[in-house]
Amino acid sequence: MKATVYIGLACSWCDRVKTLLKDNDYEIEEIMVNKTILEEIQTKYDTTIRTVPQVVIDGALIGGFAEVRAMMRGINSINKV
């Protein structure tokens, strides 16, 4: 499984989401966010992005750490809760 993680400088949440993804057997591609990349992401996913990290899995924008953690809990929990 692969995930693209859009990161910023000295971002502790970026480090946390990368660890979470690695712990769940994801191969990670890291991309440092700049103005051009941010505009491309916002256009592609038709949303406003104000924070990093932003995670894309299987072409879908998942979101930041909290959204990825919630997705992982759903995958790993018995009742998908």
Walk me through the domains of the chain, giving residue ranges and CATH numbers. Answer: 2-76 (3.40.30.10)
User: Who contacts 45 (Cβ-Cβ below 8 Å, separation ≥6)?
Assistant: 61
Report pLDDT digits (tens) over 48-81: 999 999 999 999 999 999 999 999 887 655 544 4
CA distances from 55 to 5, 6, 79 (A): 5, 6, 24
Report pLDDT digits (tens) over 4-32: 999 999 999 999 999 999 999 999 999 99
For the entire predicted model, the pTM comes to: 0.88
